[in-house]
Amino acid sequence: MSLAVDVRQERAEVLLLTDRPGWDIRFLSLAASREPRLELTRVFSGPDGPVHADSLRQWSEPESVEEWLRWDGLILGGWGGPAGRLDWQRLGEAVEAGLGLLVLPGDGASNPALRLPPVPGGLGGLLPVRVPEPRRRVAGAEPMTVVLPPAGRSHAILEGLVAGAGGGGSGSWDDLPPLRAILPVELLPASRSLIEVRGRARPGERLATEVLVAVAERGQGRTGWYGGRNLWEQAFWTGHRSAGGEVEPGGQVARQLARNLLLWTAEGEAERELAFAGRRLAYQEGETIRISSIWSDLRGQPVTGRRQELTLRASAADSAGAAGEERTFELEEIEGRPGEAEVELPPLPPGAYSVQLTGDGDPPVVSRRENLVVTRNSIEATQVRQDPRRLRQLASGARDRYVDGHEADALGRILAALQACDWQAGARERRSRFDPLAGWPLLVVAALLLGAEWFLRRRNGLL
């Protein structure tokens, strides 16, 4: 009989609220269904109020922050319908407590004839951007090219997208078609712009740049903004083809972006980390120093095939060199253990050091800086390892005394113990008796006689 246990990570729960499920909402739902770590609950307007999309059961707004935190993330497809009647103060407290929030402007972002409803004041205080007046204006009279600001290229939402996107170092995504609809917004000072669009410049005009994706930290939570529309159209764009007719990498940027947006809304960057594997960062002089690392992406999956380096810096002046001197060592991936790498450092003199991991990327991925201590080690300490507890037990059993030689008054205690000993000579008598009929000599004689008898009987056929 064999028993198989399939251990699976608990799914992150995301709530999606929208007035009506447009194509972008449906595309996000499809992206969530292909992400095994997500569970999406969709709610939209019904005849009698908001209902669940799968069962048409009535949905009611959570009445406390704790009920909001049942979900890991919230996606608002516009701020009309069910979203327009939310208690924004309570929702803001939930975001501060750790809830992720992603806001899309909805269908009004692509149709200049539709006037977007005013942004609720409570929601405006949570957004990483400000939606200016007039709300009728929609940028996109001319096709706009997607570009990546250098400051946002290391964010988790762009995990796996920057390296595969076309355009190389310029940061433009040539594999995506130009966007034609985006709601213009103003980036707030504490927010971070990840993706922007740039329109075609007419003669005598400056090149207009608009924010497409922006994020901000709110307490323990996070808020995100996606100001475009027709994201689903980008997913069907196959990109430029190579000479052999195959689609080159980067043709599915929009699908990956949608999944990253959902994952970041639900979990932030909790799973994305380059860190030291193990916590032993104290060694003795002459001991082999082997340091390991573990690298995981936004989904918690191991990152392989990318160069890792360890930077070693002396914290104080010593025989190794001046304080602040840095040395770099390359880590090698551990065979059979994806995402893990290790490096063996050369012998280091005693002292305090700091180490930091750096992973290949644009910009590079760095870990937290950790302290590394190398202590002095003498030959005596290496050869002799005493256990004071066992020595005290041994001395008490023999009614003797144990004196620790490392104590300050050890010599005085030893002299006092020696003086207390009785050094007078004495005599002892010991008597012993030898009895050949007792013990093992008798057994040897009996064994020889029995063996001789058996030999004679065997030889004369008497057995």
Higher pLDDT, 154 or 343: 343
Domains defined along the chain, listed by start: 12-240+250-267 (3.40.50.880), 273-379 (2.60.40.10)
> Mean pLDDT across the stretch 337-344?
87
pLDDT range class, residue 101, cuts 50, 70, 90 = very high
> Mean pLDDT across the stretch 250-261?
73
User: Is pLDDT above 60 for 247?
Assistant: no
pTM for the full predicted model? 0.62
Yes or no: say if 224 and 257 are a contact pair by the CB < 8 Å rule.
no
User: Is pLDDT above 50 for 241?
Assistant: no
User: Is pLDDT above 70 for 249?
Assistant: no
Higher pLDDT, 460 or 118: 460
Question: Phi and psi of 66, rounded to 5°?
Answer: -60, -40
> Mean pLDDT across the stretch 320-349?
81
Q: What is the per-residue pLDDT for 235?
A: 64
pLDDT range class, residue 286, cuts 50, 70, 90 = confident
Structure confidence by residue, pLDDT tens digits, 127-183: 999 887 655 445 555 667 777 887 777 787 887 666 433 333 333 455 556 676 778
Q: What is the per-residue pLDDT for 184?
A: 82
Q: What is the per-residue pLDDT for 166?
A: 34
CA–CA separation, 306 and 332 (whole Å)? 10
Kindly report which listed range (48-62, 275-289, 374-388, 399-413) carries the lowest average pLDDT score: 374-388
Kindly report which listed range (39-43, 104-108, 192-196) carries the lowest average pLDDT score: 104-108
CA–CA separation, 119 and 130 (whole Å)? 9
> Mean pLDDT across the stretch 108-124?
67
Higher pLDDT, 311 or 428: 311
Most confident of the ranges 142-151, 156-165, 336-345, 354-363: 336-345
Q: What is the per-residue pLDDT for 251?
A: 46
pLDDT range class, residue 450, cuts 50, 70, 90 = very high
User: Is pLDDT above 90 for 93?
Assistant: yes
Q: What is the per-residue pLDDT for 19?
A: 84
Yes or no: say if 32 and 38 are a contact pair by the CB < 8 Å rule.
yes
pLDDT range class, residue 278, cuts 50, 70, 90 = confident
Structure confidence by residue, pLDDT tens digits, 17-41: 888 777 778 888 888 888 877 888 8
For residue 459, give Cα distances in angstroms to 450, 452, 456, 463.
14, 11, 5, 9
pLDDT range class, residue 4, cuts 50, 70, 90 = low
